[in-house]
Amino acid sequence: MRAYNFCAGPAALPTAVLEKAQAEMLDWHGKGLSIMEMSHRSKDYVAVAEKAEADLRKLMNIPENYKVLFLQGGASLQFSAIPLNLLGKNSKADYIHTGIWSEKATKEAQRYGDINVIEAGTTVDGKMAISDQSTWNLSDDAAYVHYADNETIGGIQFANIPETDKPLVADFSSSILSAPLDVSKFGLIYAGAQKNIGPAGLTIVIVRDDLLDQAKPEIPSILKYAAQAKNDSMVNTPSTYAWYLSGLVFEWLLEQGGVDAIYKANLAKAELLYGYIDSSDFYANPIAKANRSIMNVPFTLANPELEKQFLKEAEENHLLNLAGHRSVGGMRASIYNAVPLEGVQALVNFMDGFAKRNA
Ligand SMILES: *Cc1c(COP(=O)(O)O)cnc(C)c1O
């Protein structure tokens, strides 16, 4: 049986997608070989790659003047690729700090330019929150403004897209495709695939055309967006299987009714879980309501000594990977697109039973 998997990443994939991949594994579309064994330059593979891009464009309503790149190295390599590509003409950038991932992005960028760090963490009634933009000290001459839409570890998410006349660069690793998004507000959006898209090994970069010509000359060609765009993300061999499987996830999302429909489902899941946590004295979530992540729900137990027992019993109940990140402890349920409402309901039922048994 398949358990409910609340892993933060690599994360749950839709069962229907895995079944399709399984059915196509040995003999893809009657060609006598698997997709993994095909040249990335073959007509068949290129068609798979192009279909995945077209479906992602449809799902996110990506305007014509944006390139969609299918890269490797994870979101973490983009922490370097972004400054190397975008700090060529002006080596200043603003980085908004809301948690561990935006901080890691900042640390890498500081190797390449003059980075203005904006501390946006605050508290509201004792809960962690993101401060109002009016309190931020944005520079007037930044080449771009960077932020992480959803801090996967802290479970804190922006309620709005920051306003700026500079190119806005955003890490959407754990929130891409979870809710409708106006791509035209951004200069660049990036996301590692292994949270809310597909297998690890693929990184999506959506970049506006006018940002392609300002890379630093010493940039490795694999990291250069202009070179990758010109070569259809095939400057070298791409992560072909992850790209194919992500394409199956995009088809699955379209079948679900697209991003609007999955957003509704995600809201229902988040409301169910946060609603239960708020109603209980046994569990607590540390984030102010306006900034609660709809994808990653951290929670603590009133008695931390019960954490091990909680995790053990959860696993016995086929509820997997609920431990919080090693840096923060506690619990975390990641409820990405592929986690169904029934999974969240099963989690809430288990949490309620556990609380009653240990009251
Ligand atoms: C997971 C994650 C990353 C790092 O992703 P890798 O693909 O492992 O490099 C960066 N940012 C956010 C928001 C993440 O959730």
pLDDT at 118 over 90: yes
> Which residue's alpha carbon is at the smallest distance from atom 13 of ligand 1?
173
DSSP string, 151-206: ETTTTEE-SSPPP-SSPEEEE-TTTTTSS---GGG-SEEEEETTTTTSSTT-EEEE
How many angstroms separate the alpha carbon of residue 108 from the centre of ligand 1?
Answer: 13
Among 102, 152, 177, residue to substitute to test ligand 1 (most atoms within 8 Å of Cβ):
152
Across the chain, mean pLDDT equals: 97
Closest atom of ligand 1 relative to the 172 alpha carbon: 13
Query: Positive or negative CA dihedral for 291, 293, 297, 298?
Result: negative
DSSP secondary structure letter of residue 221: G
Give the residue ranges of the annotated binding site for L-glutamate. Answer: 41
pLDDT for the residue 343: 98
pLDDT digits (tens, 9 = 90+) for 130-168: 999 999 999 999 999 999 999 999 999 999 999 999 999
The SS3 assignment for 36 reads helix
- Phi and psi, residue 6, nearest 5°: -105, 25
* Other Cβ atoms within 10 Å of 168 Cβ, number: 20
Rounded distance between C-alpha atoms, residue 107 and residue 92, angstroms: 14
CB-CB contact of 184 with 206 (8 Å): no
Rounded distance between C-alpha atoms, residue 107 and residue 264, angstroms: 36
Per-residue pLDDT band at 89 (split at 50, 70, 90): confident
How many angstroms separate the alpha carbon of residue 74 from the centre of ligand 1?
Answer: 7
Pocket of ligand 1 (CB under 6 A): 9, 74-76, 101, 148, 152, 171, 173-174, 192, 195
pLDDT at 77 over 90: yes
pLDDT digits (tens, 9 = 90+) for 313-351: 999 999 999 999 988 889 999 999 999 999 999 999 999
Closest atom of ligand 1 relative to the 194 alpha carbon: 7
Q: Over pLDDT 90: what percentage of the chain?
A: 97
Residues with a known catalytic role: 101, 171, 195
* Alpha-carbon torsion angle 44, 48, 49, 55, nearest 10: 150
CB-CB contact of 105 with 160 (8 Å): no
Rounded distance between C-alpha atoms, residue 183 and residue 169, angstroms: 11
The residue-averaged pLDDT of 94-118 equals 98
The model carries a pTM of 0.98
pLDDT for the residue 229: 98
pLDDT for the residue 311: 97
pLDDT digits (tens, 9 = 90+) for 268-315: 999 999 999 999 999 999 999 999 999 999 999 999 999 999 999 999
> Which residue's alpha carbon is at the smallest distance from atom 10 of ligand 1?
75
Domains of the chain: 15-255 (3.40.640.10), 257-358 (3.90.1150.10)
User: Where is pLDDT greater, at 325 or 39?
Assistant: 39
Q: Would you give the end-to-end CA distance of the chain in angstroms?
A: 31
